[in-house]
Amino acid sequence: MFSTTLVLLASLASTYGAALNRRVTCATGQTTANAACCALFPVLEDIQANMFAGDTCSDAAHTTLRVAFHDAIGFSLTNPSFGTGADGSIFIFGQTELGFDSNLGIADAFNLEVPFINKHNISVADFIQFAATVGLTKCPGILQPPFMFGRKDATFGAPDGTVPEPFQNVDVILARMADAGLSAAETVALLASHSIAGADDVDPTKSGLPFDSTPSLFDTQFFVETQLRGTSFPGSSGNQGEVMSGIAGELRLQSDHLLARDTATNCLWQANVNNQAHMAQSFQAAFAKMQNLGQKGLIDCSDVIPRVIPLPAAQAQAFFPPGLTHSNVEQACATSAFPNLPTAPGAAATLPQIVQNPLTQ
């Protein structure tokens, strides 16, 4: 009897295991777990060859990542007029939304993405989030991102004020994020995106200003360098939402500066320093949640997303930039000391600007 039961269980496991692992072959030859996901392979092939051609976590990847957040955050748990989340409204109603001060520079993303959106039969909402997810895979250090498919496009635009501004205080920023369903910890986790980002319009005299010294690596340097004492501006001074950074050529947003020092978030911020696994895992979960705001009934198409690029262990080691040490840190977290880090060799130098993708112009 016992032997017969084991045989039966093994047979059931084999049958259901095969069903769970069943694959669909698309007309284009690729396989996926769900036939609906076949629609994404032509999009993937096109943007890999033409949007991200030669892009190694540079301007195109940065641009698609930024617009994904600005679109998705048009959502509120308490006020339906704030929008339906990751719904493509930022492009569909671009004549209105792209005029908001908080969306300054998103026209770059519009110029980059709309020619591809017009070529493919998926929703604008899905394209924005799909392009951002594929763009993430260009950046060493990212964990494999999931992707859900089937977003509905917006039928009305999001109002001004849904995107937090860099000049706002921490309590205002956290309240807006909480209203969208994102906690303080998730807010800090999402800001790991600034480790692979740059500013084009905060300083009107310069574009492609990096937020940390390694803008093509998803590493913890951003969380190190925002905690350094500010000493200079990379270009002009007096720009709204900008404070002095600790490294020549680097731009620091006022909001990042404050979040790194506020009692509500400073220990969450410091927890990322030299902890690549924590930063990557927290971002992976928070970004996936953000991409699905306001959307229901989505299909898991994660197996369409290209494989990520691992970050070598040597590059995962955080450091102080040349000429700087622990004495340059403005300690903020009251419950644990800022980690001891090595100082990179060489002389201090001005960080180069991120080369701009001609498709964004």
Question: What mean pLDDT comes out for the span 47-51?
Answer: 96
Contact 279, 220 (CB under 8 A): yes
Model confidence at 225: pLDDT above 70: yes
Contact 250, 212 (CB under 8 A): yes
Residue 338: CB partners within 8 Å, gap ≥ 6? 227, 270, 273, 326, 329, 331
Model confidence at 6: pLDDT above 60: no
Model confidence at 5: pLDDT above 60: no
Confidence of residue 17 (pLDDT cuts 50, 70, 90): very low
Which runs of consecutive H residues, i.e. helices, occur in the chain?
2-20, 40-46, 59-72, 89-92, 94-97, 107-117, 124-136, 170-179, 184-190, 221-225, 254-259, 266-270, 276-291, 313-316
Return the percentage of the chain with pLDDT > 90, whole number: 88
Output Rg (C-alpha) for the chain, integer angstroms: 22
Task: Give residue 23's pLDDT.
Answer: 87
Confidence of residue 8 (pLDDT cuts 50, 70, 90): very low
Task: Give residue 21's pLDDT.
Answer: 62
Within 10 Å of residue 197's Cβ, how many Cβ atoms?
Answer: 21
pLDDT tens, residue by residue, 108-137:
999 999 999 999 999 999 999 999 999 999
Task: Give residue 359's pLDDT.
Answer: 78
28 CB-contact burial (10 Å; exposed 0-12 / middle 13-18 / buried 19+): exposed
Average the pLDDT over each of 2-11, 33-42, 146-155 and give the range with the smallest value. Answer: 2-11
pLDDT, mean over the chain: 93
Model confidence at 4: pLDDT above 90: no
Task: Give binding residues as ranges.
Answer: 71, 85, 87, 89, 194-195, 212, 214, 219
Task: Give binding residues for heme b as ranges.
Answer: 194
Task: Give binding residues for Ca(2+) as ranges.
Answer: 71, 85, 87, 89, 195, 212, 214, 219
Model confidence at 80: pLDDT above 80: yes
Model confidence at 22: pLDDT above 90: no
Model confidence at 79: pLDDT above 90: yes
Catalytic residue among 62, 70, 257, 326: 70
pLDDT tens, residue by residue, 284-314:
999 999 999 999 999 999 999 999 999 999 9
Within 10 Å of residue 321's Cβ, how many Cβ atoms?
Answer: 23
70 is catalytic: yes
